Amino acid sequence: MPVKKHQEASLKFQERAGIAFKDSALLETAFTHRSYLNEAKQGGRSGKPGAHNERLEFLGDAVLELIVTDHLFRAYPTSNEGELTSYRAALVNAVMLGDIAESLGVNDCLLLSKGELKDTGRARATILANAFEAIVGALYQDQGYEAASSFIERFVLSKMSDVLASGAWRDAKSAFQEFAQAKYALTPKYAIVRAEGPDHDKHFVVSVSVGEVMIAEGEGKSKQEAEQDAASVALAQQEA
């Protein structure tokens, strides 16, 4: 991507997000996928060797989880642990974060290899979600907890009313199990198709089958998240 075009996209993102980074190199790193550095065989545009976004993603994931958990704990005092966990999962899953990132123009800012640039659908959603977490980590590093919290409140926690209205927080695995047992008298089975990435940033693909028939696949940062995603896809297929 031409430098000028990338800089313009980065400025537009900051305008949409209502933030202004003091250290632009942090934001640059948040936009930089490992594949871009591997292909270029050089440091990121910030000039820092190995300046891809995985470390910032690791930090941002923790910051995001803490802020969302704290908000939900205070906002829903009568909800039990299981309900709060489901609320949080609906807010911070790859699909939700990927959609938020795309709405903010992150897709136009990403620095990717030529191969990754061709990714679409779920693969691109995962890249966008990871970049969103990296942005949270970068903002936390750049301006602290309050700035990160304000950003998350505006763009993630603001989705909570939609999550409740749509029922997206409900446990997809339980719902699909009820469906499969009622229609086929069988219990769904889940299997790991593949697990990729370093220990701190694993990416799982899981299949769900009923009997001998594979119904759907799902993705996530944990086996449990991927199973929930697979169940959600399976349910959507039954409703289609």
**Residues carrying an active site annotation:** 61, 133
> What are φ and ψ of residue 181, in 5° steps?
-70, -35
CA distance 125 to 115: 15
Please give the structure tokens belonging to residue 123. Answer: 């693969």
